[in-house]
Amino acid sequence: MSALISPEQLSSIPSIAPITQVANALGLETYLIGGYVRDLKLNRPSQDLDFVCLGSGIDLAKAVTKKLRGSNLTVFKNFGTAMVKWQNLQLEFVGARRESYSRDSRKPIVEDGSLEDDQNRRDFTINAMAISLNKSNFATLIDPFDGIADLKKKQIRTPLMAGLTFSDDPLRMMRAIRFASQLGFDIEAATFEGITNNIDRISIVSKERIADELNKIILSDTPSYGFKLLFHSGLLKKIFPRMIALHGVEEIDGKTHKDNFYHTLQVLDNVAKNSDNLWLRWAAILHDIAKPATKRFNKKVGWTFHGHEDKGSRMVPGIFREMKLPLNENMNFVKKLVRLHLRPIALVKDHITDSAIRRLLFDAGEDIDDLMLLCRADITSKNHARIEKYLNNFKKVEEKLISVEAKDNIKAFQPPITGQMIMTEFSISPCREVGNIKDAIREAILDGKIKNNYDEAFNMMLKIGKQIGLKSVNNN
CATH of the domain at 189: 1.10.110.30
11 and 149 in a single domain? The answer is yes
Where does the pLDDT of residue 115 fall: very low under 50, low under 70, confident under 90, or very high at 90 and above?
very high
6-15, 257-266, 299-308, 398-407: segment of lowest average pLDDT: 398-407
Structural domain including 456 reads: 419-467
**pLDDT recorded at residue 301:** 86
Where does the pLDDT of residue 105 fall: very low under 50, low under 70, confident under 90, or very high at 90 and above?
low
Last residue in a domain, options 239, 258, 278: 239
9 and 141 in a single domain? The answer is yes
The count of structural domains within the chain is 3
Mean of all residue pLDDT scores within the chain:
90
118 and 164 in a single domain? The answer is no
Last residue in a domain, options 120, 153, 186: 153
Last residue in a domain, options 222, 239, 256: 239
206 and 134 in a single domain? The answer is no
In a domain, 27, yes or no: yes
The CA dihedral of 242, 244, 246, 247, to the nearest 10 degrees, is -170
What are 28-69's pLDDT values in tens digits?
A: 999 999 999 999 999 999 999 999 999 999 999 999 999 999
63 and 172 in a single domain? The answer is no
In a domain, 140, yes or no: yes
In a domain, 374, yes or no: no
31-45, 103-117, 182-196, 251-265: segment of lowest average pLDDT: 103-117
Rounded to an integer, the average pLDDT of 354-377 is 89
- pTM as predicted: 0.87
Where does the pLDDT of residue 335 fall: very low under 50, low under 70, confident under 90, or very high at 90 and above?
very high
What are 147-177's pLDDT values in tens digits?
A: 999 999 999 999 999 999 999 899 999 999 9
**pLDDT recorded at residue 298:** 87
81 and 147 in a single domain? The answer is yes
171 and 105 in a single domain? The answer is no
**pLDDT recorded at residue 321:** 97
